C-alpha cells in the first residue's frame, strides 16, 4: 500500500466526461489499497478565459483581485472531481489550497510555496477518504491573502504535497503519454523517454518542454519526489523522473531534438 498524489492537468478535466474518466482512475487506485491525494487544474482553458474576462473590465487588473479570480478555476474542478468520485461510491473531500495548508510567499501571481501543513489531509487519508486539493494556489501567512503560483502551478502544488506527505510517487496525468525526445506530433520517430533524472527533466523544462512546470521540477529535485508523467487517456508506461538512473537507461540525447520536446498541456 502506497501514498499516491495524482495531478490532473486542465486537458484531463476539460469536460465532465473527462472528469468522470479521471475519477474512475482515482477510485481504482484507492480500491487497490492506496492512500490517494488528487490535485486538479482548472477545467480546460478556464484560466485563459478568466484572464480574458479580467482584461475586458480592467486593462491592468489589481494582482490581488486577479488571484481571487484565477484561483476560482481550481475551486470548480476539484469539487466536481470530488462529486464524480462520490458518485462512484468512494468518499472524497475537496479543499482550497489554503484549507489544505499550502502556505506561500505573499507575491500575487507568482507566489512560492514556503510550507505545507498536511495534518488535515493526513487525518482524512487515515479515515479512508480521498483528498482533493485545488492546485495553483495557497495562502500567505504575512498578508492572510489568497495567492496563485504562476501558470502551470498545479504541478508545483502536487509535488509539494507529495514531498510534505512523503508520498511514494507523484503521478502527473496529462495529454501526452510521457516525455519525448522531440514533439511527437511534429517529429516522426520521436522516442518516449522512460526515465529521466531531475537534472535532465530540468533542462527539458527550462528549454521549453511544457510537460512539467519548471518550478515543480526544482521542487521535486530538492525534495527527491519521484514523478511519473503519464497519459490520462491510456495506460502507457509514461516517463519516470527520479534521482537515479538504472543501468538499462538509455542516455538522453542532448541537442536540438531534446530542445523541441513538448507537451500540449493547456496552461
Residues that bind ligand ASP (CB under 6 A): 10, 41-42, 47, 73, 135-136, 151-155, 267
Rounded-to-integer distance, Cα 215 and Cα 255, Å? 22
Q: Find residue 92's DSSP bridge partners.
A: 130
Q: Which grid cell sits at 66?
A: 486577479
Size of the site for Mg ion (CB under 5 A): 4
Q: 152 touches which of ligand ASP, Mg ion, none (CB within 5 to 8 A by kind)?
A: ligand ASP
Burial of residue 110, with CB atoms counted within 10 A of its CB: 0-12 exposed, 13-18 middle, 19 or more buried? middle
Other CB atoms within a 10 A radius of the CB of residue 218 amount to 16
Q: Please, what is the minimum distance in Å from the beta carbon of residue 246 to ligand ASP?
A: 30
Q: Please, what is the minimum distance in Å from the beta carbon of residue 161 to Mg ion?
A: 17
Q: Which grid cell sits at 55?
A: 482584461
Q: 153 touches which of ligand ASP, Mg ion, none (CB within 5 to 8 A by kind)?
A: ligand ASP
Per CB under 5 A, does 157 bind Mg ion? no
Q: Please, what is the minimum distance in Å from the beta carbon of residue 83 to Mg ion?
A: 20
Do the beta carbons of residue 47 and residue 149 sit within 8 Å? no
Rounded-to-integer distance, Cα 59 and Cα 147, Å? 20
Rounded-to-integer distance, Cα 177 and Cα 209, Å? 14
Per CB under 5 A, does 41 bind Mg ion? yes
**Which contiguous run of DSSP H or E holds residue 216?**
helix 214-223
Per CB under 5 A, does 242 bind Mg ion? no
Q: 136 touches which of Mg ion, ligand ASP, none (CB within 5 to 8 A by kind)?
A: ligand ASP
Pairing outcome for strands 130-134 and 113-116: unpaired
- Nearer to ligand ASP among residue 49 and residue 123 (C-beta): 49
> Which DSSP state fits 191?
P
Q: Which of 5, 7, 8, 10 binds Mg ion (CB under 5 A)?
A: 10
Per CB under 5 A, does 239 bind Mg ion? no
- Nearer to Mg ion among residue 135 and residue 178 (C-beta): 135
Q: Please, what is the minimum distance in Å from the beta carbon of residue 10 to ligand ASP?
A: 5
- Nearer to ligand ASP among residue 155 and residue 200 (C-beta): 155
Q: Please, what is the minimum distance in Å from the beta carbon of residue 62 to ligand ASP?
A: 19
Strand order in the sheet with 195-197: 92-95, 130-134, 35-40, 3-8, 169-174, 227-231, 239-242, 195-197
Which residues are at the interface with Mg ion (CB under 5 A)? Answer: 10, 41-42, 47
Amino acid at each position: 500500500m502506497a501514498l499516491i498524489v495524482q495531478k490532473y492537468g486542465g486537458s484531463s478535466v476539460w469536460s465532465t466526461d473527462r472528469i468522470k474518466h479521471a475519477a474512475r482512475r482515482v477510485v481504482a487506485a484507492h480500491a487497490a489499497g492506496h492512500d490517494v491525494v488528487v490535485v486538479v487544474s482548472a477545467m480546460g482553458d478556464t484560466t485563459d478565459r478568466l484572464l480574458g474576462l479580467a482584461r475586458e473590465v480592467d486593462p491592468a487588473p489589481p494582482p490581488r483581485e486577479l488571484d481571487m479570480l484565477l484561483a476560482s478555476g481550481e475551486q470548480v474542478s476539484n469539487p466536481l472531481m470530488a462529486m464524480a468520485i462520490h458518485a462512484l461510491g468512494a468518499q472524497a473531500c475537496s479543499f482550497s489550497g489554503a484549507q489544505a495548508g499550502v502556505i506561500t510567499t505573499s507575491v500575487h501571481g507568482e507566489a512560492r510555496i514556503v510550507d505545507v501543513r498536511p495534518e488535515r489531509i493526513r487525518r482524512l487519508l487515515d479515515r479512508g477518504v480521498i483528498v482533493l486539493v485545488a492546485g495553483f494556489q495557497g495562502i500567505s501567512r504575512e498578508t492572510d491573502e489568497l495567492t496563485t503560483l504562476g501558470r502551470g502551478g498545479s504541478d508545483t502544488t502536487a509535488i509539494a504535497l507529495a514531498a510534505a506527505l512523503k508520498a511514494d510517487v507523484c503521478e502527473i496525468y496529462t495529454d501526452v503519454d510521457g516525455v519525448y525526445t522531440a514533439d511527437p506530433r511534429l517529429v516522426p520517430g520521436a522516442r518516449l523517454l522512460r526515465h529521466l533524472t531531475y537534472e535532465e527533466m530540468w533542462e527539458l523544462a527550462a528549454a521549453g518542454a511544457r510537460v512539467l512546470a519548471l518550478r515543480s521540477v526544482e521542487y521535486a529535485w530538492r525534495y527527491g519526489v519521484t514523478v511519473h508523467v503519464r497519459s490520462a487517456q491510456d495506460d502507457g508506461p509514461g516517463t519516470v523522473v527520479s534521482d537515479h538512473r538504472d543501468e538499462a537507461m538509455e542516455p538522453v540525447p542532448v541537442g536540438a531534438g531534446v530542445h523541441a520536446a513538448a507537451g500540449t498541456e493547456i496552461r
